[in-house]
A and B are shown apart, each in its own frame.
Chain A
Amino acid sequence: MDVYRAIADPTRRAILDELVDRSGQSLFEICARLTMKHGINSSRQAITQHLGVLEAAGLIRTRREGRSKLHWFQGGPLKAIAERWPIATDERDM
């Protein structure tokens, strides 16, 4: 799964926004934030699929904490974008 396809979807970008706001969320918390803060009323199954895409792209990782499965954002794969199209040092003068 490439990072470009992973972040092409607005729901997946909203998931990343919320995981940056607070690390280590359950599926329930992610769904609650998407519904209440973004008006995204996708089913839990649909959100689970989005999380699978993000995990396959390396943009989130999951870990079992206690009896719950939690999700973390990891930005490493995004570095490839900045490295591929570096921002020129003189860009602000243009």
Chain B
Amino acid sequence: MRIHLAGVFVDDQQKALRFYTETLGFQLKHNIPLGEYAWITVVSPEDPEGTEFLLEPDAHPAVRPFVKALVEDGIPSTSFAVDDVQAEYERLQAKGVQFVQPPTDLGPVITAILDDTCGNLIQIQEEKPQP
């Protein structure tokens, strides 16, 4: 068994697609119209055949209170791996991305948390080399 799909709920799929591709740098994989919404997935350019990331509409009535409660306590919806958190922090800040947690050394990992502008907090994480 393999994990082929993960994702977040977003308040606007087209805005999310722009943020996850143009700002974060993922690539569009699927954009299949489904009536009012679409099946939109992106992939990492470093792993285009790898796990797809679904930008799922937050239309279900349970979703918005759920995501709102997560954000209130600062809990990220998901986490992406990066080679250098500090470099990504600087690159994304220059593009206007808001960080709610700057790069923070937590021992085995360095993390930072950004706002995806579509309702979610997203963690980026760098694993430090083991001594």
Bind each other: yes
Contacts of B106 in A (CB 8 A): 32-33, 36-37
Q: Does B93 contact A (CB under 8 A)?
A: no
Contacts of A17 in B (CB 8 A): none
Contact A67 B68 (CB under 8 A): yes
Q: Does A2 contact B (CB under 8 A)?
A: no
Q: Considering the chains assembled together, what is the distance between the CA atoms of A70 and B113 in angstroms? A: 14
Contacts of A26 in B (CB 8 A): 73-75, 100-101
Q: Does B44 contact A (CB under 8 A)?
A: no
Which residues of chain A in 63-79 are interfacial with respect to chain B, using CB atoms and an 8 Å cutoff?
66-70
Give the B interface residue count (CB, 8 A).
Answer: 19
* Known contacts A66-B100, A67-B68, A68-B100; A29 and B74 CB within 8 A of each other: yes
Q: Does B71 contact A (CB under 8 A)?
A: yes
Which residues of chain B in 70-96 are interfacial with respect to chain A, using CB atoms and an 8 Å cutoff?
71-76
Q: Does A44 contact B (CB under 8 A)?
A: yes
Contacts of B102 in A (CB 8 A): 22
Q: Considering the chains assembled together, what is the distance between the CA atoms of A88 and B115 in angstroms? A: 51
Interface-central residue, A25, A33, A37, A67, by most chain B CB under 10 Å: A67
Q: Which residues of A contact B (CB under 8 A)?
A: 22, 25-29, 32-33, 36-37, 44, 66-70
Q: Which residues of B contact A (CB under 8 A)?
A: 68, 71-76, 100-102, 104, 106-109, 111, 113, 115, 121
| Pairs across A and B, CB under 8 Å, 17 listed | A26-B74, A27-B74, A28-B73, A29-B101, A29-B104, A32-B111, A33-B104, A33-B106, A36-B108, A37-B106, A37-B107, A66-B100, A67-B72, A68-B72, A68-B121, A69-B72, A69-B73
